[in-house]
Chains A and B, each alone.
Chain A
Amino acid sequence: MQDIILLIVGAALVNNVILARFLGLCSFMGVTTRVDTAIGMGAACTFVITVSSMGDWALEEFLLKPYHLGYLRTVTFILVIAAAVQFTEAVFRKFSPSLFKLLGIYLPLITTNCAVLGVTLLLVEGKYGFMDSTVFAFASSLGYSLVMVLFAGLRERVALADVPRLFAGPPIGFITASLLALAFMGFSGMGAR
């Protein structure tokens, strides 16, 4: 169990997708104007990243690796991500139309989120087994959601502050993000022996 906990802490905090690997910065700046939208986007992303990582692992292990088709990896993974988004949409539309109406707006945005592709490519580098790769993907996306919500909370507070005109908007957002990244640097080395 300790190995799973270390994997989760490492993926979510130490090597955070946004603040350590700089993936998903478009949604990080675009969807974090309110905490509730950040939660919705984070939860949808967590689901899609975890589900697509399962499909990607299976394709990598049973198709790309045995037949030496590594050069098709990126294209294949993009197709799997798009399929995972469509699957999620279709399932929620069927299983829970009311929830789909409430949350469906976040799903199309995930297809173009580079964090999803980035995490699945990191899985290949890590050479994980099935469950480890699924837990890694889940923890990475949990870290993504955590940073999104933290940053949205900070931006909501900054929006109420008297910011000089020169820094208003994205500039103060980037300064806040850099301070948040510095805070996350405190996790560096955690779990190292």
Chain B
Amino acid sequence: MALAAPDFPDLASRGLVEGVARVISVDGGTAWLEPEQSTACGSCHSAAVCGAKPGSARLVARRFQMPNDHDFRVGERIVVGTPEETLRSASLTAYGIPLLLMLVAGVTVQKLGGSDLQAMAATVAGLFAGLVVVRLKSQKLTARGALAPQYLRRAFGSDAECGLDRSSKD
């Protein structure tokens, strides 16, 4: 029996974190996609546990758009990728900067003889200062398009996580 050869990812897609997304709507040259539960959790289809069922508010909030260069159709599942380096730097930016500012502010106030309440106030102020820095930095990254996922290929059987094809269930 002849099997159709899947379009394997090209070499340029190595070093990318892959995820499967479903096309929700197509509006002219733009396609809106909703990510499926990624491989972050070992029990990736335990949707009842983490609430990330298709169409859930959590996934709706993570919808993104992409240029419709590959003639996407509504309901189609495609594989998108983000460079590993982007994920690493995004994690450090989002969580590292507020934590660092928060701890530096709190420890500084305490070492200067401040009370627990003063240290707490400084820590909270540091946290919000850090979040403002994150906002500015992420605006720059977004403007450069560094955080946008890239189209890799159309999803086929082996792209269904945990060996299950969710498209048949929905």
Say if the beta carbon of B3 comes within 8 Å of chain A: no
For the complex, would chain A's binding face be called helix, strand, loop or mixed by DSSP majority? helix
Residues of B within 8 A of A105 (CB): 35, 37-38, 40, 52, 62
A33 lies within 8 A of B42 (CB)? yes
B116 lies within 8 A of A134 (CB)? no
Q: Which B11-59 residues have C-beta < 8 A from chain A?
A: 17, 35, 37-43, 49-52, 58
A103 lies within 8 A of B107 (CB)? no
A134 lies within 8 A of B93 (CB)? no
A40 lies within 8 A of B103 (CB)? no
* Chain A interface category by residue count: 35 or more
Q: A37-B17, A95-B132, A96-B94 are in contact. List 6 more A-B contacts (CB 8 A).
A: A95-B131, A95-B135, A96-B135, A99-B90, A102-B87, A109-B40
Interface residues, chain B, CB within 8 Å of chain A? Answer: 17, 35, 37-43, 49-52, 58, 61-62, 64, 82, 84, 86-88, 90-96, 98-99, 102-103, 106-107, 110-111, 116-117, 119-120, 123-124, 127, 131-132, 134-135, 138-139, 141-142, 147-148
Interface residues, chain A, CB within 8 Å of chain B? Answer: 1, 4, 26, 29-31, 33-37, 39-41, 43-44, 46-47, 50-51, 54, 58, 61, 91-93, 95-96, 98-106, 108-109, 112, 129-131, 134-135, 138
